[in-house]
Amino acid sequence: MPALKIENLNKTYKGEVVALTDVSLSVEQGDFFALLGPNGAGKSTMIGIITSLVEKTSGAISIYGHDLFKQPALAKSMIGLVPQEFNFSLFETVEQIVVNQAGYYGVDYKTAKQRAEKYLKLLDLWDKRDTVSRNLSGGMKRRLMIARALLHEPQLLILDEPTAGVDIELRRSMWKFLRELNKQGLTIILTTHYLEEAEMLCRNVAIINHGKIIENTSVKDLLKKLDKEKFILDLDCTVNDVPKIEGYKIKMVDDHTLEVEISTTQNINHLFSLLGQQDIYVTSMRNKTNRLEELFVHIVNN
């Protein structure tokens, strides 16, 4: 039984704006799934329908086998949502917000208080439990929304751009935390604009554009479609001109740096040895852009 099954989902907003067209998708239990797409592609509409914040036009959704529209209470109790925008009362304390959210799912007050302590400590917010939410920093607010989504211990966690506007240190600690949750069996669906994040965390991916799923596969299989990659090579010497090496597209970035495009059929060691023959040695190299990002741009543009 999949954690999430979407069949022929359609959404047309008033004014005949088509947001989703015949979307079908399946996310297996325990998966770490990325839902990618440019702005306005339909990601948030899709998440909105799954979480009952947006009305569907047609289609079916089931969460762990429970039909979202026929057994809404059962299906909804399985889901935790971390939305893109801050959506908590600005006048309540951190602890009140998470304890209340647990109450809406039927978690009694005593248990909710115990879980609040557990999750606020895990997310490093316990010291702020009596702080009114409007006085928290942006990063703390993001962590508060994660804690709030976990308090009823859902089976499926949906994160809509959870690391948007978050500094790199906090982003890394969030990644670690989410990986840990996924290891414990929690199914996670993530939307993000940081493709590096999706590549690092997720096993499977769907790409949505103009309201349609245009790619749905494993991250590994998707990356195999990348037939060429661009690398930046840092050199140990100065070059005055682009080295002429047959079969490789090379550009000069500056007199110490080259950009080279290598197809999957080519061998990078071969390139290094050819450069070495011209007394040009590489001290370090890196991808010009994230691999998934390159592929994403390619897929979306085509």
Partner 1 sequence: MLNRQNIVSYLTISRKETIRFLRIWPQTILPSAITIALYYVIFGNLIGPRIGDMEGYSYIKFIVPGLTMMSVITNSYANVVASFFSAKFQRYIDELLISPTANSIILLGYITGGILRGCIVGVIVLLISVFFTDLSIDNLYITASIIFLTSVLFSLAGFLNGIFARKFDDVSIVPTFVLTPLTYLGGVFYSITMLPEFWQTVSLGNPILYMVNAFRYGMLGQSDINIFTAYLLIIGFIIALYWINIYLLRKGFGIRT
Binding interface with partner 1 (CB under 8 A): 13, 48, 51-55, 72-74, 76-77, 79, 81, 83, 85, 87-92, 96, 100-101, 103-109, 148
**Cβ atoms of 231 and 262 closer than 8 Å:** yes
Write the single-letter amino acid at 214. Answer: I
Residue 209, CB half-sphere, CA atoms under 13 Å: how many?
12
Strands (E), 28-174: 32-36, 58-63, 66-67, 79-82, 156-160
Cβ closest to partner 1, residue 77 vs residue 209: 77
Distance in Å, CB of 119 to partner 1, minimum = 16
Distance in Å, CB of 143 to partner 1, minimum = 17
Cβ closest to partner 1, residue 52 vs residue 290: 52
Distance in Å, CB of 240 to partner 1, minimum = 59
**Cβ atoms of 133 and 88 closer than 8 Å:** yes
Distance in Å, CB of 192 to partner 1, minimum = 20
Check residue 105 and report its DSSP letter. Answer: T
Cβ closest to partner 1, residue 48 vs residue 139: 48
167: tokens are 């500094």
Cβ closest to partner 1, residue 158 vs residue 262: 158
Cβ closest to partner 1, residue 77 vs residue 204: 77
**Cβ atoms of 204 and 31 closer than 8 Å:** yes
Distance in Å, CB of 184 to partner 1, minimum = 22
For 104, residues 6+ apart whose C-beta sits below 8 A from its C-beta are 152
Distance in Å, CB of 167 to partner 1, minimum = 25
Cβ closest to partner 1, residue 90 vs residue 297: 90
CA dihedral 126, 130, 136, 139 (to 10 degrees): 20
